[in-house]
Amino acid sequence: MKIAIDARIINTSTGRYIDRLLEYLQQIDTDNEYVVLLRADDFDRWQPTNPNFTKAVADYPPYTFREQIQFAWLLYRLQPDLVHFTGPQQPLLYFGKKTTSILDLTLVNFVNKRQEGPLKNFYKHTIKPLVFKVLVRRVIRSSDQLITITNFVRQQVVSSYKADPQKVTTTYLAGEPPSTKITPIPKLKGKKFILYVGNAFPYKNLGALIDAFAVAKLKDYQLVLAGKPDFFYGELAEYVQQRDISSVYFAGFVSDEELAWLYQNAELYVFPSLSEGFGLPGLEAMSYGLPVASSTATCLPEVYGDAAVYFDPEDINEMAKVIKTTLADKKLLAKLKTAGPKRAGQFNWKRTAEQTLKVYQQALKSE
């Protein structure tokens, strides 16, 4: 069978899912023929290791007319038996067999607002979210099989979009193994700090984390926020400055080696998010033995289980209390340091690939 995999978002924040899925599919499947569809900028970055895997340029930006018309035409010319769309961004004019991954529904419920011109604001904050909601509904109804990455998202798809439960399969993701290559961040050497890693979109709830840190009054601790500088991180920096909140350190973009050092040297990882599809950063923190304090929102308790402590992300005082009491409880910290790596070890990418291959087989058998 010929299977096309849409890897156009392999170089985005959710691209690791695609990259690892391709890596392990190449290890376990020597029977099917695969065509991996890539943007032009990514074409030379990804190289197949299995002779059954080839690649093709699909340089069509998501949510554009080019995607709807030209991408559909490319797929018809390739004539795959099945297409795996790794997100809802796909041509509605393609009517062949398909499997779609729904990684999360955060963007259905949250809009990452930033102030621009009135027309841009209207398009981005009103029109685009509406189009996205309609697209997600159409995609869920038209896919032969659906893949979600937690049971929480699976339940959302089934209950909110009336998807047939028999057509929706959960394939958990996995964290990366701890790195032995580290690069210290000079400004943080010898200091105690709690850590957050990721982007600063509003649903990540970092403003509440900063407030909770201030309320907790953690003497001798810093709050370290690591993520690529952007509009939203800029807003947070202004917020900290205006309220004169001390000991908040914006690390900006960090290399893999610096990230490993942060995980190894932080006292606590805090994940205050209001919505997630999986929550990989917390799981990776656990793999380093770093204790995790997490929001109770959406899928996070499902992924972290008993290996984390939890707080209501909309209650700043509760968040502050959980952070402060956890740091003060040596027995609890020791328990979390032991439980974290065990929990992280329960997830692996090979199993993700094996489960995905079974979904492909189910989709190919469907009428």
Domain containing residue 331: CATH number: 3.40.50.2000
Helices (H), 87-180: 106-109, 118-122, 128-142, 151-161
- What is the widest separation between alpha-carbon atoms in the chain? 64
Residue 292 sits in the same domain as residue 354: no
User: What is the number of H-type helices and E-type strands within the chain?
Assistant: 15, 13
**DSSP secondary structure string, 179-223?**
PS-----GGGTT-EEEEEES---GGG-HHHHHHHHHHHT-TTEEE
Residue 190 sits in the same domain as residue 144: no
Q: Is the dihedral of CA 177, 178, 181, 182 positive or negative?
A: positive
Burial (0-12, 13-18, 19+ Cβ within 10 Å), 119: exposed
Residue 197 sits in the same domain as residue 86: no
| Owner of token pair 């032995």 | 180
- Side chain identity at 347, as an amino acid letter? F
Residue 170 sits in the same domain as residue 263: no
Query: What is the distance between the alpha carbons of residues 89 and 282, in angstroms, rounded to a whole number?
Result: 27
Residue 103 sits in the same domain as residue 215: no
Residue 340 sits in the same domain as residue 357: no
Residue 254 lies in a domain: yes
Residue 96 lies in a domain: yes
pLDDT tens for each residue of the chain, 367 residues long = 999 999 999 998 889 999 999 999 999 999 999 999 999 999 999 999 999 999 999 999 988 899 999 999 999 999 999 999 999 999 999 999 999 999 999 877 765 555 555 555 544 555 566 777 888 999 999 999 999 999 999 999 999 999 999 999 999 999 999 999 999 999 999 999 999 999 999 999 999 999 999 999 998 999 999 999 999 999 999 999 999 998 999 999 999 999 999 999 999 999 999 999 999 999 999 999 999 999 999 999 999 999 999 999 999 999 999 999 999 999 999 999 999 999 999 999 999 999 999 999 999 998 6
Residue 286 sits in the same domain as residue 307: yes
Residue 63 has what pLDDT?
Answer: 84
Residue 181 lies in a domain: no
Owning domain of residue 308: 186-344
- What is the number of other CB atoms lying within 10 angstroms of the CB of residue 239? 15
For helices 280-287 and 330-344, what crossing angle results, to 10°? 110
Residue 139 lies in a domain: yes
Query: What is the distance between the alpha carbons of residues 341 and 307, in angstroms, rounded to a whole number?
Result: 9
Residue 253 lies in a domain: yes
What do you get for the CA distance between the two ends of the chain, in Å? 16
- Side chain identity at 345, as an amino acid letter? G
Residue 180 lies in a domain: no
Residue 133 has what pLDDT?
Answer: 81
Q: How many domains does the chain have?
A: 2
Residue 104 sits in the same domain as residue 88: yes
Residue 123 has what pLDDT?
Answer: 45
Residue 235 sits in the same domain as residue 324: yes
Residue 135 has what pLDDT?
Answer: 87
* DSSP state letter for 123: I
Residue 91 sits in the same domain as residue 197: no
Residue 186 has what pLDDT?
Answer: 96
Query: What is the distance between the alpha carbons of residues 65 and 283, in angstroms, rounded to a whole number?
Result: 37
Q: What is the CA radius of gyration of the chain?
A: 21
Residue 161 sits in the same domain as residue 212: no
Residue 7 sits in the same domain as residue 69: yes
- Contact (CB, 8 A) for 91 and 69: yes
pTM of the model: 0.92
Residue 53: which H helix or E strand, with range? strand 53-57
